[in-house]
Structure 1
Amino acid sequence: MNNRPFSSVDEMDRVLIDNWNSVVQPDYEVYIIGDFMFRSRQTPLYYLDQLRGRKHLVLGNHERWTDQVNLPDYFESVSQIKEITDMDHHLVLCHYPLAEWPRYFRGSMHIFGHIHNTRTSPAFQFYLTQPNMLNAGVDINHFIPVTLPQLIGNNRAFRQLEDEW
C-alpha cells in the first residue's frame, strides 16, 4: 500500500470515501488525475455510487476498469489530458508528469499524479525543481480531495520537507 497509514485496503477504502464525502458536495467539480482504483476486490460502481460531486476523469495507467462502466453515467468528462481554468490559473491536467509542453502552456500549472511520492523516480526529482508542477497524489494531499489553493500549499509544504530530508 505504498507505505500508507492504513492497516488494510478495506480501511484505506473506507477512509478515502469518508474523506471525499466530508469535503465534496454534490455540485462540486472534482478532477480525478488517474489511478482511480487498482487491484480492488470491489467493482468500480461500489466506489462511484458512493462518491459525491461532478467527476471528471483524467485517465491514468490503472484505468483498466473503465470498460466495466458506462462512463458518461458517472463522469462529466473523460480525457488523457485536460485544460481548465481555476481562480484565473490555466491548469494542464495529465496523469503523467510532463517535462515539456507547447509554448502557450508556459506560465500554466501542471497537475499530475502517477509518481505518488516515490523519491527514487527521476520524474519525482524533476518535479521537485519545477514550482509550476503540482502533485495531486493522495499521499501528498493527506488522503483527501483538495482545492487548488490547498494543492498549492500541500506541494509547497512537501517540497520544504524534501529540502530538509
Structure 2
Amino acid sequence: MANVFFTSDHHFGHRAIMDYESRPFRDVPHMNEAMIAAWNETVGAGDQVFHLGDFSFMNKSDTANIVKRLNGRITLILGNHDRGRSRSWWLDAGFAEVSEHGLIYKDFFLLTHEPLYMNRHMPYVNVHGHIHGQKYEGIQHFNVSVELWDYRPVSFENMMDILKTAEFSGEKQSEERTDEGD
C-alpha cells in the first residue's frame, strides 16, 4: 500500500527565500539539490504526495525537470506564488493533479495553501503551508512547510501521531482545569 505525504513551500529556484527564511544552503542549486535528495530519501516511487503550494519559481522546463526527479505521484494545490500560472501549465510540468482550490482528504483534513480560520467547534484539521517556520497553536492546524520538517515531506502517519499526542495533551489539560473548579 502506498504511503501518503504532505509538504509545501519548496520555492525551487527562489534565491530570496534563503534569506527570508534563513535556509541553510549556500546557493540556489545547492538548495534545489538538497530538497530533491531529502524528498527522495523520504518518499517512495509508488507513494502519494500532496504539495500544498509554492512549488517553483523556475520556468516550465526547469520545473518539469525537478518534478520528473521526485518520487511519488504528486498532487499540487496552487499556492499564492503558483497562481500566476495556469492549471494546464502545472499539469504540463508533470504534476499528476492540480487544484486551484483546497481539497478535503479522508473527510476530515482540509488541505490548503494558506491556513484557514478554524474555530474550536469545527471538527476538522487544516493541513497547510504558506507561513513557513511559524505555527498556530492547537490541534486544528498542521503546518507542512519544509522549514518545519527538515525540507522533507511529512507522512500522514507521522502527522496523525503528532495530532493524537497533542489531542491527548489538550484533553488532559482540560480535565485538570475542570478538576480545579470542583
Unaligned runs of 5+ in 1: 119-123, 158-165
SS at match of 2:154: coil
CA distance in 1 between counterparts of 2:123 and 2:32 reads 36
CA shift, 1:94, in A, is: 0.3
Listed as ranges, the gaps of 5+ residues in structure 2 are 1-17, 167-182
Alignment of 1:1-165 (within 5 A): 1=18, 2-38=21-57, 43-63=62-82, 64-66=84-86, 69=89, 71=91, 74-79=94-99, 80-85=101-106, 90-100=108-118, 106-118=122-134, 127-128=136-137, 130-151=138-159
Deviation at 1:53, TM superposition (A): 0.7
- Distance across 2 between alignment mates of 1:78 and 1:26: 19
Q: CA RMSD in A?
A: 2.9
Structure-1 separation of matches of 2:87 and 2:76: 14
Higher Rg of the two aligned structures: 2
State the TM-score, normalizing by the size of structure 2. 0.67
CA distance in 2, matches of 1:141, 1:152: 15
TM-score (norm 1): 0.73
**Larger mean Cα displacement after TM superposition, 10-19 or 76-85:** 76-85
Higher relative contact order (CA 8 A, sep 6+): 2
**How many percent of aligned residue pairs carry the same amino acid?**
29
CA distance in 2, matches of 1:139, 1:4: 8
Distance 1:142 1:149 in 2: 17
Task: Kindly state the Cα deviation for residue 17 of structure 1 after the two structures are TM-superposed.
Answer: 0.3
Q: 1:143/1:94 Cα in 2 relative to 1: closer, same or farther (>3 Å)?
A: same
Matched residue type, 1:78: V
